[in-house]
Each structure stands twice: as structure tokens, then as C-alpha cells.
């Protein structure tokens, strides 16, 4: 099929490459000329595992332009532009509407059929409301006749975007009319390498499903963190033992049931706020979403208190991990950065290191922390070290080597990644979610 992907960011660039790799003719569209130039040069405009490989292998099927109206020349256009949170916590449709307006006007000058697919996360009611109205007004066409409108969000995790697109748990399609839904289903059936269930439904049901998935998953995380907090205060308790058993109950399931620290990143922290805003607008209740968010916000304070229980003000704290999770350079809502800010405000000297995100993090928090050039340097110059991102290399901290040269810092292992056999006898390791009194020395 001929498909335009509008927005060549963290989701759009991988989707364009995945669609092209399956033989579709893909026109990538972005207002950012750098992203367009890179894609036209066969270079990945964002970092994501396997993205460069797919782009290099699919160049015959990929082109890019800054001309948003050109999306109307395709059979389908998929919109993956930002939907930032507004001051009320709702997702703003500003960028989506700008793109729909341009594509709509271009469709008004053409005769062929077209389906607009919204992939960005939106407030439920958006597609059937202002997005549909804008598309109809700008194109002079009626949605459901020669122009279709669908909502089909991606369920991906950064760092795993390509695999999640090729092997999704399900494909969700909200549709203005069955013909539009069939086209979108055919497009995605041609992409999936597994055989996932497809769920086709109204636009608003699909919008609500998308945001419900994320609020439910984050509820599991906050639940496990609530258990971790209790376990740290309950003599003999260990949250990992408890969540491992809990997850075996098929009504609950093990995924995302892990007591550690706050969730971060560009999506999760926004979704419960948006859900609660939706509920308020409808005069409904969303206490679960509000509690999930409140528990998450409290996690960095919980972690800071554990650090403070180990050392007095003015001492040096090292933070290992600044991207919000491994395998990504993204630092939005990073728990490591949030911890650095709290500790610096409390008078600690803070030093930070991340395999890929140190520079970006230092720019995001000027004057808060110093960067360390290596893990060794951070270990040598800190009284307490906190592993906030479970990068695989942090599982192999050179603690034995540092111990032989001098004093070892106390290590707070938020994700339980340090193996006991690699630790020197003199190491003091605190594992989150275990009764604090029993956690030292190892
Ligand atoms: N990143 C994630 O993990 C993730 C996961 C699920 C859903 N989402 C949602 O997907 C959407 C896109 O997210 P992202 O992370 O890819 O965003 P991004 O910021 O990485 O990329 C968006 C791109 O859109 C371009 N753009 C903005 N306005 C445009 C316009 N009018 N026309 C053409 N291009 C335009 C920007 O230049 C940018 O390159 C958002 O709604 C987001 O909430 C993101």
C-alpha cells in the first residue's frame, strides 16, 4: 500500500521503516528538515534498536518530505505527532489538528479515497470530535464516505519499538466506518510477524482502551511499589518474594509487578493524570488513577529517605542511571534525575553516570550534579551509590577492585541486579523492597 507516516519521531520513524520493510511504499513526513534529510539519506532520525538496519534494507520503499500536504497522495496517512500534556493534564491535539488541517485541505483538491489514521495518544472523544470536524471542514468531504478516520495506537516500549510493532499482543483499531477499518486491518496484518488478535471498534472505545491499558499497567507498578514500601518497614519481609508469588495468580500476572522505584518516560507519568482529567470532565471518579499517580510521585522521596538514612548532609552520593530505563537515551521523567534534584536540594554532593545519557541529563539539571567519566570514578568518589536504571553493565560493578584500593560506598540496588557472588565481603548493599534492618552488610 502507499502509506504516509506523519511525524518521524520515536514512534513514527520506526513505523515508517517497519511498513517499508514489508513492501509498502512509505512517505515519511516531518516539519523537522533534519529528520527528513536523514531519512532521505538512509540514516535513522532517532535511536532505536534495529531501526538503522530496517531503513538500510528498505530504502527503495522509503522517501521523506517536509510537505505535510503530500501525505494526501498516499492511500492512508498515519499521524504520529506529539500530543503534549496541557496545564490540566489532558493531551493537547494542537499538532494533530495542524496536520489534519493540511492533509484535509490537500484532500479537498483531490478525488481519490484516503484514510487518516491517528496513532498519537489522544483524550477519548478527540477523533469523533474535533479531529473529525477539522478533517471534514478542511477537505469538504464527509468522513465515512470518500475519507475514513481511524484511531490505531501503538503499544510499544521504547528500546523494543520494532519488535513490539512486528509482534504486538493485539492490534486495536477504532474506525469511522467498516471500509476504513478493513483497510487498516489489511495494512497491519501485512506487518505482524505473529498472529495477534485484532479488535475493531468505535473511535471512542479504542481511545478509551489505549489510555486504560497504560493506567492499568502503571497501577500494577504502583501496587508493587506500595508493597515495597511496606516490606522495607516490616521485619523479615521481601517484596520480590511476595510479587513473585502474586504474579503466579493468572488473575494478576507477573508483568510489571515489580517493587522498585518510580516509573518515568514520556508516556506512563502522563496517562493517569489525563485519565483523571477525563473523569473529572465527565463528573466521574478516577481514584485508582489518582492513587497510582500519587504513589508514583512519592517513590523518589521514599528513595531519597533511604539514601539519607545511610549518610549525613554534605556527603557524596553517586547515581548510576539517568535514562528512564535501559536501552534508551530518553531522560524525560527520569527517576535518577528526580533523585539527583532532591538530594542536591538537601545539601548532598551528587555525581551521576549513565552509559548513554550523562551529558543530556547534566544539561537538563544545570548546577545540580557533576558528571562522572566512568563507573569506577563514581564508585571511588561517592559515600553512597544508587543504581536507578538497571543497565546490564551495572550488574557487574567493579566493587572488588574499588574495595582493594580503599573505601567502598554503600550501594543501594533499586532493581536487585547485583549478584551476591560478585560482591566483596566488605560491601554493604541495600536492596529496595527488603526490610532495611536485614539488608546490610552482605
Ligand atoms: N514515545 C513513546 O513511548 C510513545 C508510546 C505510545 C504512544 N506515544 C504517542 O505517540 C505520539 C508520538 O510520540 P513520539 O514519542 O514519537 O513523539 P516525538 O516527539 O518523538 O516525535 C514527533 C515528531 O512529530 C513531528 N511533528 C510535530 N508536528 C508535526 C506536524 N504538524 N506535521 C508533521 N510532523 C510533525 C516532530 O517534528 C517530531 O519529529 C504521541 O502522541 C505520544 O504520546 C508515544
At 2-25, the pLDDT tens digits run: 999 999 999 999 999 999 999 999
Q: Whose CA is nearest to atom 36 of ligand 1?
A: 7
Can you give the pLDDT at residue 427? 87
Can you give the pLDDT at residue 174? 98
Burial grade of 421 (CB within 10 A; 0-12, 13-18, 19 or more): exposed
For residues 398-424, give the mean pLDDT.
86
Catalytic residue among 127, 150, 192, 267: 267
For residues 56-76, give the mean pLDDT.
98
Beta strand pairing call for 147-151 and 171-175: antiparallel
Can you give the pLDDT at residue 423? 86
Task: Summarize pLDDT for 173-217 with one digit per residue, the tens.
Answer: 999 999 999 999 999 999 999 999 999 999 999 999 999 999 999
Q: How confident is the model at residue 243 (pLDDT cuts 50, 70, 90)?
A: very high
Q: Whose CA is nearest to atom 38 of ligand 1?
A: 9
For ligand 1, mutation pick of 29, 124, 266 (most atoms within 8 Å of CB): 266
> Looking at ligand 1, which atom is closest to the CA of residue 46?
20
Can you give the pLDDT at residue 441? 38
For residues 71-86, give the mean pLDDT.
97
- Listed in sequence order, the residues at least 6 apart from 361 whose beta carbon sits closer than 8 Å to its beta carbon are 322, 331, 334, 336, 337, 340, 352, 354, 369
Number of other residues whose CB lies within 10 A of the CB of residue 164:
17
Q: What string of H, E and C letters represents the secondary structure of 295-359?
A: HHHHHHHHHHHHHHCCCCCCCEEEEECCCCCCCCCCCCCCHHHHHHHHHHHCCCEEEEECCCCHH
Higher pLDDT pick, 419 / 34: 34
Least confident of 55-64, 321-330, 433-442: 433-442
Can you give the pLDDT at residue 437? 55
- Cβ(156) to ligand 1 under 6 A? yes
Q: How confident is the model at residue 426 (pLDDT cuts 50, 70, 90)?
A: confident
Q: What percent of the chain has pLDDT over 70?
A: 99
Amino acid at each position: 500500500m502507499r502509506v504516509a507516516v506523519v511525524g518521524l519521531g520515536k514512534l513514527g520513524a520506526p513505523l515508517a521503516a517497519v511498513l517499508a520493510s514489508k513492501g509498502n511504499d512509505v512517505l515519511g513526513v516531518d516539519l523537522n528538515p533534519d529528520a527528513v534529510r536523514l531519512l532521505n539519506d538512509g540514516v535513522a532520525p532517532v535511536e532505536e534498536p534495529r531501526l538503522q538496519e530496517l531503513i538500510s534494507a528498505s530504502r527503495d520503499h522509503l522517501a521523506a518530505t517536509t510537505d505535510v500536504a503530500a501525505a494526501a497522495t498516499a492511500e492512508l496517512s498515519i499521524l504520529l505527532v506529539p500530543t503534549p500534556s496541557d496545564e490540566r493534564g489532558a493531551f493537547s491535539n494542537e499538532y494533530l489538528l495542524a496536520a489534519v488541517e493540511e492533509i484535509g485541505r490537500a484532500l479537498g483538491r483531490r478525488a481519490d479515497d484516503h484514510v487518516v489514521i491517528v496513532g498519537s495518544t489522544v483524550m477519548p472523544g478527540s477523533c469523533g470530535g474535533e479531529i473529525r470536524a477539522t478533517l471534514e471542514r478542511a477537505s469538504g468531504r464527509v468522513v465515512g464516505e470518500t475519507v475514513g478516520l481511524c484511531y490505531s495506537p501503538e503499544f510499544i516500549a521504547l528500546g523494543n519499538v520494532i519488535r513490539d510493532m512486528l509482534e504486538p499482543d493485539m492490534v486495536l483499531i477504532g474506525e469511522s466506518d467498516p471500509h476504513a477499518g478493513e483497510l487498516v486491518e489489511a495494512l497491519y496484518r501485512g506487518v505482524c510477524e505473529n498472529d495477534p488478535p485484532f479488535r475493531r471498534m468505535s473511535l471512542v472505545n479504542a481511545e478509551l482502551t489505549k489510555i486504560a491499558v497504560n493506567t492499568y499497567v502503571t497501577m500494577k507498578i504502583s501496587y508493587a511499589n506500595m508493597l515495597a514500601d511496606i516490606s522495607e518497614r516490616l521485619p523479615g519481609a521481601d517484596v520480590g518474594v511476595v510479587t513473585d508469588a502474586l504474579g503466579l495468580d493468572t488473575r494478576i500476572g507477573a508483568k510489571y509487578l515489580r517493587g522498585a522505584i518510580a516509573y518515568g518516560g514520556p508516556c506512563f507519568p502522563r496517562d493517569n493524570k489525563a485519565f483523571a482529567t477525563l473523569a473529572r470532565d465527565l463528573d466521574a471518579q478516577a481514584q485508582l488513577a489518582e492513587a497510582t499517580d500519587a504513589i508514583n510521585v512519592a517513590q523518589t522521596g521514599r528513595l531519597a529517605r533511604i539514601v539519607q538514612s545511610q549518610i549525613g548532609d554534605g556527603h557524596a552520593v553517586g547515581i548510576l542511571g539517568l535514562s528512564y530505563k535501559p536501552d534508551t537515551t530518553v531522560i524525560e521523567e527520569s527517576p535518577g534525575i528526580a533523585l539527583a534534584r532532591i538530594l542536591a536540594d538537601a545539601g548532598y554532593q551528587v555525581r551521576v553516570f549513565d552509559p548513554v545519557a550523562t551529558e543530556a541529563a547534566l544539561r537538563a539539571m544545570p548546577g545540580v550534579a557533576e558528571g562522572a567519566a566512568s563507573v569506577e570514578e563514581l564508585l571511588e568518589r561517592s559515600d553512597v551509590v544508587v543504581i536507578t536504571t538497571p543497565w546490564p553493565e551495572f550488574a557487574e560493578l567493579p566493587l572488588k577492585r574499588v574495595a582493594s584500593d580503599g573505601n567502598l560506598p554503600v550501594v543501594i540496588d533499586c532493581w536487585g541486579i547485583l549478584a551476591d557472588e560478585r560482591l566483596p565481603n566488605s560491601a554493604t548493599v541495600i536492596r529496595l523492597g527488603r526490610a532495611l534492618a536485614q539488608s546490610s552488610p552482605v
